[in-house]
Structure 1
Amino acid sequence: MGKLTARKVATLKDPGFYGDGGCLYLAVGEGNSKSWVLRTVVHGKRRDFGLGSVSLVSLAEARDLAAELRKVARKGGDPALHLKRETLTFEQATRRVHEQLSESFDSEGHAARWIAGMEIHAFPKLGDRPIDTIHSPDILEVLSVIWVGKHDTARRIKQRMSNVFSWAIQAKHYPHPNPVAEIETGLPRIKHQAEHMEAIDWREVQEFMVKLKRREGNAARCLEFILHTLARSREAREACWDEINGQLWLVPPSRMKRRIGHRVPLSSGALDVLERMNGFGRELIFPSAHSRRAGEQPLSDTVFKALMKRMGYPDLTTHGFRSTFRDWCSEYARVEREVAEAALAHAYGDKTERAYARSDLFERRVEIMELWSSFLSGQDAKVVKLA
């Protein structure tokens, strides 16, 4: 146990060295300047190491640092080099991880959302803290505020924080176990409930298509293309002319959720949309009207929400149209499950079933996509059960 106390440190005035035990000393200089000094043996020689001013380093912190440096010396290291190691704040470490992950993000928007979440939820409490001073209670304080009300956001923040500390441990900036591990034991248990995207009933989608066709602009045509192809938002917004080959659209793996390239048969309705878009973009099929001079820019991921709100459908989501198609397959067209799932680029069946299902059922999808396109256009199409 040390010989000094916080009160004694504050009241000592005479110049000199005052021992606390464990090779830690309080150095009082002229003018009542006070600092911490570690006196220990390194490679057979006694050396002094300054640990900082009393005004910046508390007695408890000085004891912890002295113990840490003695351990370094016992292992043959140099405490001076250990003291000079880079000390990062949590925000600095997070931004380094964000930079290293830059090539793995799906898009610039994904990268921006990643760091924005940390700026909103983690940086206000932990941003300026040295990362090696942060422990599980600090993580709990950040997550507990949003764990119930914004559970999905909280889980994403938790994962990002875990990644930051994993990096810091590997980079020797964090000398403790990952503080995010097992943190959920201190948080309320949330019963998972599947979230369903707001979708229009398949019986009402024809009326929606009539209104959509009356709309002008690239966003309306892109949404129309999405309905005919069942593509996800980004897959369509960033579609390029060189991906179109006759009546086939080849979506590259980089834009697919499962990172597997997808062949999309283009129905008559989809081809009609492409014909109307011909000449608008050199590379992009649906370029933004606000493209910068430096080059074409894809439509924003917010344009469809705004478009549907103007059409009188404020609650619909772009992704919901895929559910509309799925219901149409089950309730009206009687399409086999595996064909419907393949049209949506979903994995279906258990692992064994997927191992044997090597085909993407393209020929069968050609027919069903034409039937779906005809249905969207309000045409009477004979629906046949596929063999």
Structure 2
Amino acid sequence: MALTGKLTKNLVENLGAGRHGDGGGLYLVVDPSGARRWIVRVVVKGQKNRNGAPLRTDFGLGGADVVTLNQARERALEYRRMAKQGLNPRFNARQEVPTFEEVAQQVHIDRMPTWKNAKHGQQWINTLRDYAFPKIGRMPVDSIGQPEVMMCLAPIWTEKHETARRLAQRIKTVLDVARSKGFRSGENPVTAIKDAQALPKVKAKPKHHKAMRWQDVPDFYASLRGRNAMAAKALMFTCLTGSRTGEVLGLRWAEIDVEARLWTCPAERMKTGEEHRVPLTNEMLGIMEPLRALNSDYVFEGQKRNKPLSNMSMLMLLRRMNVAGVTVHGFRSTFRDWASEVANAPREVAELSLSHQVGSDVERAYARSDLLEKRRILMDRWSRYVSEANCDVIELVHGIRE
């Protein structure tokens, strides 16, 4: 015969945040995030807590999306029977607790729709596969504490600090999800390790993309003009716009408004996750317009029909041109140096031109404008400097400050 209580299946699925009793010490806990889990409160006969009072404690029974109401009642009854016999359920109950790897793989699957791209999602699980699964992957997720986490982090903390930092964050996420499903309790060991400063401080060395001097860009750009390869066209456009490689290679004709002289890169293709408008100059339009004849979805089509150039195409072009010590991404830094040293552009105008976020969250909340017209003046000046051999490099852009 089925056990009964105050809750129903409908209530379990729809109750709001809080702790909701079913009776007999069984509770449904609904987090503000909407996650639902079962806990049972029991008093262990004959055992006392540190204050000498009867030992009353809570035990997780699993997430409500995995454990049904009847299953939770049956497990709660089992725990109460143990407690009445003087047996602490923490050491005597049988629980089907998943392993760390099982939870991690499920987290990866659940978050697939949120990854910016497939590569990012694969990197997330690969870090755990390489550095966590060999050591703690087969352990029940509720048995992982600080020593186990330290086994994963300590060997690579100084040698591969950035990787270790990301690994720590991903282990923390897996353990947090396990706790929300009722498979763990207490503080996350990753948080405890951080608070205790158990790992040494590592001063991260900033990695800068190697950039060309702005003084050398006009000659380099002129050499690109003499090439017919699609990679050369894309690199010219990249130099002029200061955009990221992926933004340029993924550029579709549908994002271009020739009449408004504007390229609107959608939020899903931006690193910041926000739509970015790029003012188009005569030189930029001159690069693109002849490419319309290809009748492709992409402005810079690759070797396969209606597919963009590969991510390595522009970098390989630099190598074929024997341009040493320069990366494609570095042209963003080149533009930024020129904007500051030559154009004397206000910081917010130059930073917004590179789609960088400027100011605090509060400042951005009030600064709704993307300063498009001021950026248009700056980009036009940069475009003319890069593409016109007789450009006077010390002329200032007075209009930017108007």
TM-score, reference length from structure 2:
0.70
- The verdict on how the C-alpha distance between 1:78 and 1:352 changes in structure 2, with shifts beyond 3 A counting, is closer
Q: 1:219 aligns with which of 225, 231, 234?
A: 231
Given the alignment of the two structures, is residue 306 of structure 1 paired with residue 312 of structure 2, yes or no?
no
Given the alignment of the two structures, is residue 102 of structure 1 paired with residue 112 of structure 2, yes or no?
yes
Distance, in Å, in 1 between the alignment partners of 2:330 and 2:321 is 16
Q: Give 3-state SS (helix, strand or coil) of 2:189's partner.
A: coil
Given the alignment of the two structures, is residue 201 of structure 1 paired with residue 210 of structure 2, yes or no?
no
For each residue in 1:185-212, what CA deviation from the matched residue of structure 2 results, as whole angstroms up to 9, or x when unmatched?
A: 2211012443322111101112222333
The answer on whether the counterparts of 2:238 and 2:245 sit within 8 Å (CA) in structure 1 is yes
Cα displacement (A) at 1:258: 2.4
Residue 385 of structure 1 is matched in structure 2 by 398
Distance, in Å, in 1 between the alignment partners of 2:309 and 2:352 is 26
Residue 270 of structure 1 is matched in structure 2 by 284
Q: Give 3-state SS (helix, strand or coil) of 2:162's partner.
A: helix
Q: Give 3-state SS (helix, strand or coil) of 1:374's partner.
A: helix
**1:1-387 equivalences in 2 (<5 Å):** 73-74=82-83, 83=94, 85=96, 87-184=97-194, 185-246=197-258, 247-280=261-294, 282-290=296-304, 296-350=306-360, 353-381=363-391, 383-386=396-399, 387=402
Q: Give 3-state SS (helix, strand or coil) of 1:203's partner.
A: helix
The answer on whether the counterparts of 1:248 and 1:265 sit within 8 Å (CA) in structure 2 is yes
- The verdict on how the C-alpha distance between 1:100 and 1:281 changes in structure 2, with shifts beyond 3 A counting, is farther
Cα displacement (A) at 1:75: 8.6
Q: Give 3-state SS (helix, strand or coil) of 2:113's partner.
A: helix
Residue 65 of structure 1 is matched in structure 2 by none
Cα displacement (A) at 1:159: 0.9
The answer on whether the counterparts of 2:218 and 2:389 sit within 8 Å (CA) in structure 1 is no
Q: Give 3-state SS (helix, strand or coil) of 1:144's partner.
A: helix
Q: Letter of the 1:206 partner, please give it.
A: P
> 259-268 or 183-192: which moved more?
183-192
Distance, in Å, in 1 between the alignment partners of 2:309 and 2:177 is 35
The answer on whether the counterparts of 2:79 and 2:89 sit within 8 Å (CA) in structure 1 is no
The answer on whether the counterparts of 2:381 and 2:397 sit within 8 Å (CA) in structure 1 is no
Cα displacement (A) at 1:342: 2.0
Distance, in Å, in 1 between the alignment partners of 2:121 and 2:134 is 20
Distance, in Å, in 1 between the alignment partners of 2:117 and 2:224 is 28
Please list every run of 5 or more consecutive structure 2 residues that lacks an aligned counterpart in the other structure: 1-43, 45-77
Cα displacement (A) at 1:263: 1.2
- The verdict on how the C-alpha distance between 1:290 and 1:72 changes in structure 2, with shifts beyond 3 A counting, is farther
Residue 28 of structure 1 is matched in structure 2 by none
The answer on whether the counterparts of 1:281 and 1:287 sit within 8 Å (CA) in structure 2 is no
Q: Give 3-state SS (helix, strand or coil) of 1:92's partner.
A: helix
For each residue in 1:50-71, what CA deviation from the matched residue of structure 2 results, as whole angstroms up to 9, or x when unmatched?
A: xxxxxxxxxxxxxxxxxxx868
Q: Letter of the 1:277 partner, please give it.
A: L
Q: Give 3-state SS (helix, strand or coil) of 1:263's partner.
A: strand
In terms of Rg, which structure is larger? 1
- The verdict on how the C-alpha distance between 1:104 and 1:298 changes in structure 2, with shifts beyond 3 A counting, is farther
Distance, in Å, in 2 between the alignment partners of 1:84 and 1:182 is 25
Q: Letter of the 1:315 partner, please give it.
A: G
Distance, in Å, in 1 between the alignment partners of 2:255 and 2:249 is 13
Distance, in Å, in 1 between the alignment partners of 2:285 and 2:187 is 56
Distance, in Å, in 2 between the alignment partners of 1:340 and 1:174 is 48
Distance, in Å, in 2 between the alignment partners of 1:369 and 1:120 is 44
RMSD over aligned Cα, in angstroms? 2.9
The answer on whether the counterparts of 1:371 and 1:383 sit within 8 Å (CA) in structure 2 is no
For each residue in 1:246-294, what CA deviation from the matched residue of structure 2 results, as whole angstroms up to 9, or x when unmatched?
A: 1110111112222221111111221122123324463222233246xxx
Distance, in Å, in 1 between the alignment partners of 2:99 and 2:323 is 46
Q: Letter of the 2:217 partner, please give it.
A: V
Identity level (%): 36
Distance, in Å, in 1 between the alignment partners of 2:387 and 2:122 is 38
Q: Give 3-state SS (helix, strand or coil) of 1:348's partner.
A: coil
Cα displacement (A) at 1:98: 0.9
The answer on whether the counterparts of 1:267 and 1:373 sit within 8 Å (CA) in structure 2 is yes
TM-score, reference length from structure 1:
0.72
Q: Give 3-state SS (helix, strand or coil) of 1:264's partner.
A: strand
Q: Letter of the 2:268 partner, please give it.
A: S
Please list every run of 5 or more consecutive structure 1 residues that lacks an aligned counterpart in the other structure: 1-41, 43-68
> 115-124 or 135-144: which moved more?
115-124
Cα displacement (A) at 1:324: 0.6
The answer on whether the counterparts of 1:72 and 1:78 sit within 8 Å (CA) in structure 2 is no
Q: Give 3-state SS (helix, strand or coil) of 2:398's partner.
A: coil
The answer on whether the counterparts of 1:132 and 1:173 sit within 8 Å (CA) in structure 2 is yes
Residues paired across the two proteins, number = 314
Q: Letter of the 2:160 partner, please give it.
A: K
